[in-house]
Amino acid sequence: MSVHTEEQGSSLDTVKLVIALALLMAGIAGFYYFETWQGEPVSVLLRVLGLLIVGGIGAVVALSSHSGKRLLGFMKDSRLEVRKMVWPTRAETLQTTLMVMVIVLILSIFLWGVDSLLGWGVKSLLGGSA
Q: What is the pLDDT of residues 2-12, one digit of tens each?
A: 444 444 558 88
* Cross-strand partners of 50: none
Does the pTM surpass 0.75? The reply is no
42, burial (CB in 10 Å: exposed 0-12, middle 13-18, buried 19+): middle
Residue 1 lies in a domain: no
Q: How many domains does the chain have?
A: 2
- What was the pLDDT predicted at 42? 86
**pLDDT tens digits, 52-80:** 999 999 999 999 999 999 999 999 999 99
Which residues form the domain of 126? Answer: 88-130
Residue 78 and residue 119 in one domain? no
For residue 69, what are the contacts with CB-CB under 8 A and spacing of at least 6?
63
d(CA 52, CA 54): 6
Residue 16 and residue 53 in one domain? yes
Residue 61 and residue 13 in one domain? yes
Specify whether the CB–CB gap between 16 and 61 falls below 8 A.
yes
Residue 92 and residue 79 in one domain? no
Residue 12 lies in a domain: yes
